Amino acid sequence: MTTDDYSRARELLRERAYRPPGDPRRTILRDEAIVACLPLARHIAQRYRERGEPFDDLEQVARLGLVHAVDRFDPTQGNDFLSFAVPTIIGEVRRHFRDRTASIRLPRSAIELRGRIREAEEQLEQTHGRTPDDDEIAAFLGESPDAIVRARAADIAQSAVSLDAGAGDDERALLLELLGADDPGYARVERCLALRPAVLRLPERDRTIIGMRFYEQRTQSDIACRMGISQMHVSRLLAASLGQLRAQLT
């Protein structure tokens, strides 16, 4: 989304707000504003594409959130549309995951096995110098390969549920993603440049992973292959690093 796109959407919504109810031009302005902001919805949808949902579905949900944002935004209040639209779209995506996973209740045994798998992965990675496969993890833990597969599936489902953890963190994570973008349409994100010294204080491996994820826009699977570790390990390292960086925002 470029500066021109964002400025155009803002002007369209402002003009729409001052037109009388029933004016057919209001509908035209609304539709044009939505089209101008579609790249924003797509960008937010891309942040959740590793959660096990088809990307097309996520993009449609994000677009629905954009429609809600356009319909609810009141430019006469002097608020910035981007700061209003981002949490509205994210909220719609999170609601989608919450509705799809509301019935998930993981048994205690599955939760415990997930923890044992993580520990086994780390130990086997240190021993063999590579990412262990499920058969090796199963043998190490004395479990069947099927049990390992089921536990991983439960982990994916639970990660989707964890989206309910606070919209503020999601919005800050989005700003971190945009930090590496050259798109001037997100000029507001420049205030986050103060995080760069904190990034430089991270261990070299963590800085490399942060760079690949948020600057090169690589998936966790791609990063895992390049680093020679598991995707789950990449996820944990990212979570720890972002936790440190988020602390700089508070």
| CATH number, domain with residue 211 | 1.10.10.10
Q: How many domains does the chain have?
A: 3
Structural domain for 57, as ranges: 1-103
Indicate if 7 and 55 belong to the same structural domain.
yes
DSSP letter at 20 equals P
Specify the pLDDT at position 234.
84
**154 and 230 fall within a common domain:** no
**191-206 mean pLDDT:** 66
Asked whether the predicted pLDDT for residue 53 surpasses 70, the reply is: yes
Both 94 and 170 in one domain: the answer is: no
Q: What is the mean pLDDT of residues 92-106?
A: 68
Same domain, 5 and 86: yes
| Residues 139 and 61 placed together within one structural domain of the fold | no
Average pLDDT score over residue span 107-119: 78
What's the pLDDT at 208?
85
Spatial separation of the C-alpha atoms in residues 97 and 64, rounded to whole Å: 14
- SS3 track for 72-125: HCCHHHCCCHHHHHHHHHHHHHHHHHHHHHCCCCCCHHHHHHHHHHHHHHHHHH
Residues 202 and 129 in one domain: no
Domain boundary among 103, 120, 140: 103
Residue where a domain stops, chosen among 72, 103, 134: 103
State pTM to two decimals.
Answer: 0.46
pLDDT of residue 222: 82
Q: Are residues 135 and 75 in the same domain?
A: no
At 143-183, the pLDDT tens digits run 988 788 777 655 544 444 443 444 344 444 554 444 344 44
Any idea what the CATH number is for the domain that residue 12 is in? 1.20.120.1810
pLDDT at 213: 76
The answer to whether 192 and 176 are in contact (CB under 8 A) is yes
Tens digit of pLDDT for each residue in 144-153?
887 887 776 5
Residue 65 has pLDDT above 70, yes or no: yes
C-alpha span between 82 and 136 (Å, rounded): 48
Query: What confidence tier does 193 reach under pLDDT thresholds 50, 70, 90?
Result: very low
Nearest CA among 213, 190, 181 for reference residue 1: 181
pLDDT tens digits, residue range 226-239?
888 888 888 888 88
Residues whose CB is less than 8 angstroms from the CB of residue 88 and which lie 6 or more positions away in sequence, other chains included: 65, 66, 68, 69, 72
Whether residue 42 sits in one domain with residue 81: yes
Last residue within a domain, chosen from 161, 196, 228: 161
Quick one: 2 and 58 in the same domain?
yes
Instruction: Verify that 236 and 154 share a domain, yes or no.
Output: no
Which of the listed ranges 109-123, 166-180, 181-195 does the model predict with the highest average pLDDT? 109-123
